[in-house]
Amino acid sequence: MAKGNLINGSIWDEYSQKVQDRMNNPQFMGELTEADAKAKNAKLIVADFGAESCGDAVRLYWLVDEATDTIIDAKFKSFGCGTAIASSDTMAGLCIGKKVDEAVKITNLDVEKAMRDEPNTPAVPPQKMHCSVMAYDVIKQAAANYKGVSPEHFEDEIIVCECARVSLGTIKEVIRLNDLKSVEEITQYTKAGAFCKSCVKPGGHEDREYYLVDILRDTRAEMEAEKLKKQADAKAFGDDLAFDELSVVGQLKAVEAVIDAQIRPMLMMDGGNLEIIDIRKDEANKIDIYIRYLGACSGCASGTGGTLYAIENVLQESLSPNIRVMPI
């Protein structure tokens, strides 16, 4: 007998005990009415969302204290599989006590992680991640109903992997900064494609507008075109010498060209930027490039970690292995 004593066989080994408990004994299943709202001096919000890929649907009820925009109660009705019930039940519980603007930030990964028995063991098999995605989408619909806006109001990025909530901009940035060459590497760095795999290539669980195989191909093509342009620009500047032999002005032009083509666009996606302060050569022939982060990059912890190493790696590969990047 598998864990949870629900059914013979190993299928339930892929579901956490929390998921099994919520499938059979959901805590927040039911409905809220205008009478409930009046009794608590709150506004009743009702939102519906259905997943075309599997036919599941969920209805979410909120009671919202309009004076504070706080969700004081939440219930749901789910029309679908047991995983949809467990995900919706977890989602409703996570909403209670949060302001509407806080609730809309609850992602499908938050729902899935809240159902785990162990922090590093997924609560459901990959093909069932779409159920927690549906929970996220109905929250967005409820918030839109409350605020009188479209659900798209809460989306400021194109989401490629719904399961892991990974955006197109993030995937392209990671490919560029880490010089990724395979879909497997994209999944390793971002978790995109790690769950239902619909976003990896056509023919998965559901159709997607963007697929990792195409994003990788197109981004690598852009990178190669930019590399060729940089080389052409260097010749236009008359800089046929090796980078280490250029004058400071020549080195500055070359560094600016690489940053403009491969680094600055990625930083600007997140509201950041950088400027080159100085270029110096030490006695060991190391070329120190001093930079200052601007905007959102200023004070960011990764500015001295992952982002810094990525910038340095791009400059070393494009110009000279002797380059060191020094943030000030």
Domains in the chain, number: 3
Same-domain status, 32 and 134: yes
Specify if 226 maps to a domain: no
Place of tokens 């400071």: 248
Same-domain status, 78 and 208: no
Same-domain status, 20 and 138: yes
Is residue 61 within 8 Å of 44, Cβ to Cβ? yes
Same-domain status, 108 and 206: no
Q: What is the pLDDT along the chain (328 residues), one digit of tens a residue?
A: 334 444 444 567 789 999 999 999 999 999 999 999 999 999 999 999 876 555 678 999 999 999 999 999 999 998 878 888 999 999 999 999 999 999 988 887 789 889 999 988 888 887 677 677 778 889 989 999 999 998 877 766 788 998 887 888 889 988 988 889 999 999 988 888 988 899 999 988 788 889 999 999 999 999 888 887 776 666 555 544 578 888 888 889 889 989 988 898 888 888 889 999 999 988 788 999 999 999 888 888 788 888 898 899 999 988 899 999 999 8
Point out the domain boundary residue: 113, 134, 154: 154
Give catalytic residue positions: 54, 131
Same-domain status, 250 and 169: no
Same-domain status, 147 and 173: no
The first and second tokens of residue 315, run together, are 């400059």
Same-domain status, 181 and 253: no
CB neighbourhood size of 168 (10 A): 18
Give me the domain span that covers residue 22: 11-154
Same-domain status, 32 and 81: yes
Point out the domain boundary residue: 104, 124, 154: 154
Query: Which residues have a Cβ under 8 Å from the Cβ of 240 and sit 6 or more positions away?
Result: 234
Specify if 4 maps to a domain: no
Residue in 54, 49, 134, 127 with CA at minimum distance from that of residue 90 = 134
**pTM of structure:** 0.53
Same-domain status, 137 and 164: no
Residue in 129, 192, 202 with CA at minimum distance from that of residue 166 = 192
